Amino acid sequence: MNKSITLIFCLTLLITSICTAQKKLIKKFLSSESDTSRNTSFIILPAAAYSQETGIEFGGLSITSFYTDKIDTSTRSSTINAILTYTTKKQSNFVIKPDIWSPGNKYHFAGTLRYKKFPFDFFGVGDQTLESDKDPIVQRLFIVQAEAEKKMVRGLYAGLNIGYENYAYSDKEPGGIYDTGNFTINETAQVMYLGTSAILDTRNTNTYTTGGSYFRLNYSYAPSIFGSNDFSGSLIKADLRHFTSLNKKAVLGFQSTFEGVYGKKTPFYLLPQLGNDQIMRGYYTGRYRDQNLFTAHAELRYRFIPRFGVAAFAGTGTVFSNGAFKLANLKPNYGAGVRYFVDPGRGLTLRMDYAVGEKRPNEARQTGFYLALAEAF
C-alpha cells in the first residue's frame, strides 16, 4: 500500500470516526431514553458571553449527578455543579455548588465555594434608583458557605449553616454615586455568620419537581469579630414553594421569598438584591437593593417530550427599608423560556429564559436573558 493510498485510508477512517461520534453525540442529546442505571453522570458544556465591561468571557460548566444509594429509589439525586469563566480583560469567575442527599434522604448537605473578580454596575440603595446614576465598579469577592440538615420526621428537617464572605471594591469611574453616597470600601470587608434552619419538604423530587411543597426558614447571626467597621447583626431568609401537576406534561409552580438584614452599619454589599437568574428574572442584579426583599411568582412548565420543555412565568417583588413596605412599589416581571433535559430520568435541566421587568420614565424597559443550570426553583 503506497503513501497516497495510506493517506486516503487514514482520512476516510478519521472522517468516518468523526461522523460516527457526531451521530452518537446527537443521538445521546436527542434521545428520549432515560438512564435507569443510577450510575454517576458527568456532563461538560461550553460557556461564552460578551459585554463592554468584561470583553469576551469564555469557559465551561459541568454537571455531576449521582446517587448515594443506587438501590433505594427514594433516595434523591445528588449534584455538583461548577462554572469557570475568564475574560479577555483578565477577570475571573469560579463557583462550585454541591447538593448531596444521603441514603434514604436522612441527611442533606449543600454548599457554595465562589471566587469572583468582575465589574458590575452600582445604582445606589432603594427601589427607586435611576439608570442615570449607574456607576461601574470592580468587585472582588470570596464566599464559602456550608449547611447540613437532618430529617427529624418524614418531610421535616432541621439544620445548621455557616458562612464566610470577603469583599473588596474599586471604583472604575471616581465621582459617581459609589463615592458621593458614602458606600466606598477602603479596605477588605469580612463577615462570618452561623445560623439554623427549619425545612418542610414534601416534594416528589428535588430537580424537576412536579408535586409537593417546600418551605425553608433560616436565621443567621453575624458577630463583630473582624473589627468595628465590619457588620454585626441578623440575617433572615424564607423560601416557600408549591407544585401541582395539571396533567402528565404540565406543572404549575409557585414561589414566594423574603430576605432581611438587621443590624448596625449594614453595608450595601449585604443588602438583599432584586433580580437574578432565579428570582425576579428581568432585573439587573443589584439595580434595586435594600434592607428587605419580598418576591412572589408563578411558573407554568410544559414538558412536551422527555428531552425538551417550555415554561412561562410571571411575578412581582420589591425591596424596602424596615417598616416601609408598600404595595404600590411592587414591580412586575414576566417571561418565557425553553428547557433541555441533559438527563431526562433525573430531571436535570439546562435552562434558557428571556424575562421582562418594569419600564421606568425616560428609561428603556428592563429585560434579561439567562442561560443557567437547573430550574429557577
Residue 57 has what pLDDT? Answer: 84
Q: Where are the domains of the chain?
A: 35-373
Residue 26 has what pLDDT? Answer: 55
Question: In this structure, are residues 143 and 114 in contact, taking their beta carbons and an 8 Å threshold?
Answer: yes
Which secondary-structure segment (H or E) carries 11? helix 3-30
151 bridge partner residues: 157
pTM of structure: 0.84
- Give pLDDT tens digits along the chain (377 positions): 444 444 444 445 555 545 554 555 455 556 666 556 688 988 888 887 766 667 788 899 898 999 999 999 899 999 999 999 998 878 899 999 999 999 999 999 999 999 999 888 899 999 999 999 999 888 899 999 999 999 999 899 999 999 999 999 888 777 888 887 777 665 678 899 999 999 999 999 999 999 999 999 999 999 988 876 678 899 999 999 999 999 999 999 999 999 999 997 788 989 999 999 899 999 999 999 999 999 999 999 999 999 999 999 999 999 999 989 999 999 999 999 999 998 898 899 989 999 999 999 999 999 998 888 889 99
Q: What is the C-alpha separation between 42 and 65, in angstroms, rounded?
A: 6
Q: Provide the grid cell at 276.
A: 437574578
Q: What is the C-alpha separation between 237 and 292, in angstroms, rounded?
A: 10
Question: In this structure, are residues 291 and 270 in contact, taking their beta carbons and an 8 Å threshold?
Answer: no
Residue 2 has what pLDDT? Answer: 46
User: Angle at Cα 182 formed by Cα 326 and Cα 224, nearest 5°?
Assistant: 85
272 bridge partner residues: none
Q: Which of 39, 26, 93, 17 is nearest to 61 (CA)?
A: 93
Provide the 3-class DSSP secondary structure of residue 104.
Answer: helix
Q: What is the C-alpha separation between 105 and 87, in angstroms, rounded?
A: 40
User: Angle at Cα 63 formed by Cα 60 and Cα 66, nearest 5°?
Assistant: 160
Q: Provide the grid cell at 314.
A: 410571571
Q: In the 8-state DSSP scheme, what is residue 126? A: B
Phi-psi region of 29 (alpha: psi -120 to 50; beta: other; left: phi over 0): alpha
Q: What is the C-alpha separation between 41 and 66, in angstroms, rounded?
A: 6
Which secondary-structure segment (H or E) carries 190? strand 189-201
Q: In the 8-state DSSP scheme, what is residue 103? A: G
Residue 176 has what pLDDT? Answer: 85
Q: What is the C-alpha separation between 245 and 213, in angstroms, rounded?
A: 12
Q: Which of 229, 262, 237, 370 is nearest to 313 (CA)?
A: 370
Phi, psi of 127 (to 5 degrees): -100, 10
Residue 4 has what pLDDT? Answer: 41
CB-side neighbour CA atoms (13 Å) of 166 = 9
Q: Which of 101, 97, 80, 96 is nearest to 157 (CA)?
A: 101
User: Angle at Cα 61 formed by Cα 37 and Cα 97, nearest 5°?
Assistant: 75
Which secondary-structure segment (H or E) carries 14? helix 3-30
Residue with cell 456607576: 135
According to the CATH classification, is domain 35-373 in 2.40.160.50? Answer: yes
User: Angle at Cα 160 formed by Cα 157 and Cα 162, nearest 5°?
Assistant: 150
27 bridge partner residues: none
Q: What is the C-alpha separation between 86 and 89, in angstroms, rounded?
A: 8
Q: What is the C-alpha separation between 147 and 215, in angstroms, rounded?
A: 16
164 bridge partner residues: 144, 192
Q: What is the C-alpha separation between 315 and 257, in angstroms, rounded?
A: 11
